Amino acid sequence: MIKDCAFLVYQPLRQRRKDNSFDGNDNIGAKVIADALDRDGIKVGYVTPESAHTVPVVLVSLTSTYDVYALLQAVSPLANWQPKAREFKVLAGGFGMQNPTAIRKYIDYAAFGRAHAWVSGVVSKIISGNAPSGLSLMDMREFNAVGIAQGDLYPHEVEGFKESFTGCSGKCKFCHFTYARKHVSVDDNCDSYSQGLLTKGSSPEMLWKSIPNVTAKMGRVRVAIDGLSERLRYLYGKQISNKDIVDGINHMGSFGPNATTMIVYNVVNFPGETERDYQELVDTISQSSPKYRVIFVLHSTPFRPSLITPMQWEEARLFPGWSKKRTQVMVDRPNLRAVHSFTLETPWSHLKNVVAERATPEDDEAIHAICFSPKLNNSKHSLALKIFKRHFGADKWTAERPLDNPPAGFLSSYTSNGTLKKIARKMRSVKDSWRA
């Protein structure tokens, strides 16, 4: 069957099925877009980078910043993807579509935000040979200013998934999700962070404040504290006290007899963070005394200054390198074991993310090196970081920015840049008072 458009299935990020479709449930966003197109009579298929020329329009789903590099590695070496030779049009979008600078030569249009309500019109115009336009669509020839599109919940069920909320009612100052997606829910009282689609119910997610509502034994649960100490959490948006952490651990450990595992997401290397903040968390966890055994697994991700958030101007600190704490034990008692996660990001991985999000056209050489340099890709992460810094430095991407202009001036969301700047200024004054 001839397809009107097709999603790109690219390596190494995607595992290909025999029919080159997406593997398993890895991309519900792409499947929603495919469903919306299909309902409007637009036939959607799948192509590899090598077979992209078989359709007039190729759709690229970016789920995160990592996908930027995966896409470049997959398509930039191919002759049929080069700007002057490309016979098909490429439309890229998804939650990872924040700064398209690094991939601008290999896509024609970038869609920002929720697109299920208007993507059919855009694809139809491209198929017919006309140039589409829209407030949330960037034409890469012009690199025009865009706003992140908001939208209602998708009204249809896709592979057993029915959207019940988008965005988050919380306003953590570092969170791209909450500032890119306005909170919309079928139930004003719903736990907007909870999400069971990807975890299939085996490890349900919840806010820390929802722990007291748990009334039965849970084998594993995912929560977040996002800050080593009480002062960091309160400044950057997580209203979780040290007492809340102790009470939460004790509550999850009140159900037995088997152990309960808590996967605890956390953000580290915040501006103003010190070793004292880490020690405060260890001391806080140690105060817990659950009735039944609790395994507290701390999964820490380095802070990065995500665009269109109040912290987009802040410094991205590469060190300390938390990957060195993999599997290290913080507390070990019969009723409580607190350990660091095995999968912690290295400073090198962290820098690559920041480079992609703060990329400018002058960074093409550095981005190409990240993708293809044998020295960088065949070395241990610590050595790769040293080599990269020797050639390109790091400060131009990691340094704190003045508050006069946002790092990506082409991008805006439902919260104005003026409001973001006010929040950032107040936040910085508190942080500066710590330094004083």
**pLDDT tens digits along 273-331:** 999 999 999 999 999 999 999 999 999 999 999 999 999 999 999 999 999 999 999 99
Say whether both 410 and 303 belong to one domain.
yes
Q: pLDDT value at position 28?
A: 85
Examine the pLDDT at 117 and tell me if it is beyond 90. yes
Say whether both 119 and 256 belong to one domain.
no
| Length of the chain measured in residues | 436
- What is the mean predicted confidence (pLDDT) over 96-108? 97
Task: Look at residue 83 and tell me if it is in a domain.
Answer: yes
Q: What angle do CA 174, 177, 223 make, to 5 degrees?
A: 80
Host domain of residue 16:
5-147
Task: Look at residue 80 and tell me if it is in a domain.
Answer: yes
Q: pLDDT value at position 192?
A: 47
- What is the mean predicted confidence (pLDDT) over 170-187? 90
- Pick the last residue of a domain from 114, 147, 180: 147
Task: Look at residue 361 and tell me if it is in a domain.
Answer: no
- Pick the last residue of a domain from 91, 122, 147: 147
Q: b/e string for 58-67 if b means 16 or more Cβ within 10 A?
A: bbbbbbebeb
Examine the pLDDT at 193 and tell me if it is beyond 80. no
- pLDDT tens across 227-277, in order? 999 999 999 999 999 999 999 999 999 999 999 999 999 999 999 999 999
Say whether both 73 and 210 belong to one domain.
no
Q: How far is residue 282's CA from residue 324's CA, in Å, rounded to a whole number? A: 17
Say whether both 297 and 241 belong to one domain.
yes
Task: Look at residue 260 and tell me if it is in a domain.
Answer: yes
- pLDDT tens across 392-430, in order? 999 999 999 999 888 899 999 999 999 999 999 999 999
Say whether both 199 and 100 belong to one domain.
no
Q: How far is residue 23's CA from residue 16's CA, in Å, rounded to a whole number? A: 6
- Give 198's pLDDT tier (boundaries 50, 70, 90): very low
Say whether both 142 and 192 belong to one domain.
no
- pLDDT tens across 323-332, in order? 999 999 999 9
Q: pLDDT value at position 322?
A: 95
Q: What are phi and psi of 297, to 5 degrees?
A: -105, 110
Say whether both 311 and 414 belong to one domain.
yes
On average, the pLDDT of the chain sits at: 91
Say whether both 60 and 135 belong to one domain.
yes
What is the tally of structural domains in the chain? 2
Domain of 77, CATH number, reads 3.40.50.280
Say whether both 302 and 199 belong to one domain.
yes
